[in-house]
Amino acid sequence: MVARRCALALVTLMLAATPLFAHPHVWADIRVELTVDSGHVDGFWVDILFDDIYSHMVLMDIAPGTTSLDDKARSAIGQGYFRDLRFFDYFGHLTLGDKPIKVPSPEKFSASVDAQHRLAYLFYLPLRLDLSPAQTLKVSFYDDSYYFDLEWANSIPLLFHATGKGKGTAKLLPFPDKAFYGGVIPSFAVFSWGG
């Protein structure tokens, strides 16, 4: 009887550790701003706005009792919370044509707090690549473990600037092959360029 109870407890613990029961603990809105100059992409800006509970937790850890950030607090967030995201490629997933691209190390990181005391990260991902008319650049942000639920912002998720010769397009497309638990489907921002 004791062995049966131990086995049942072990199976229960194993099931609880599987992704079947995964659900997000942190929510965030993503915005991306990309400029293509005659087919050349230097990089793009990423703006992540976190939910109020996660924001409050970070602020209590970094700057207890405040609802704003000074230079010391921004540096602490950058050296701690943000830098640790490198182990997850900053939740970035990039593809040029059919080939995955390694997410580069971010540049120009800054942190801020909005009027609702929500924490925001702004950083630049340098790509320095050229788009040909036959290629598309796909950009997405999601967490494979689904601990973070990162979704495109409802208002203006993409800021796309086309300069120089040629013309470009940007649109959001679902990525159904990557559906998460509960049927949540991430989307890619798809950037293309024509001569």
8 Å CB contact between 28 and 90: no
Report if residue 2 sits inside a domain. no
Q: What is the CATH number of the domain that holds 106?
A: 2.70.170
DSSP state string for 129-186: EE--TT-EEEEEE--TTSSEEEEE-SS--EEEEEESSSEEEEEEEE-GGG--GGG---
Give the model's pLDDT for residue 13: 41
Establish if 105 belongs to a structural domain.
yes
Q: What is the pTM of this model?
A: 0.83
151 vs 11, higher pLDDT: 151
Task: Name the DSSP class of 160.
Answer: E
State the average pLDDT for the chain: 84
Question: Would the pLDDT of 3 be above 50?
Answer: no
Give 47's pLDDT tier (boundaries 50, 70, 90).
very high
37-47 average pLDDT score:
93
Q: Which two tokens stand for residue 15?
A: 């099931």
Q: Which domain holds residue 155?
A: 21-194
| Helix (H) or strand (E) segment spanning residue 161 | strand 158-163
Domain assignment of residue 160, yes or no: yes
128: number of CA atoms within 13 Å, CB side?
Answer: 4
> Does residue 99 belong to any structural domain of this protein?
yes
Assess if residue 7 is contained within a domain.
no
Question: Does some domain include residue 163?
Answer: yes
> Considering its fold, how many domains does the chain have in total?
1
Indicate whether 8 belongs to any domain. no
Measured between alpha carbons, how far is 189 from 158 in angstroms, rounded to an integer?
8
pLDDT of residue 181: 66
Does the pLDDT of residue 121 top 90, yes or no? yes
User: Following CA atoms 146, 84, 109, 23 in sequence, which dihedral angle do they give, to the nearest 10 degrees?
Assistant: 10
Q: What is the pLDDT of residue 182?
A: 64
CB atoms within 10 A of CB 168: 22
What tens digit of pLDDT does each residue of 146-181 get? 788 889 998 889 999 988 888 888 999 887 777 776
Is residue 16 in some structural domain?
A: no
**What's the pLDDT tens digit per position in 48-79?**
999 999 999 998 988 787 777 889 999 999 99
pLDDT tens-place string over residues 80-104: 999 999 999 999 999 998 899 999 9
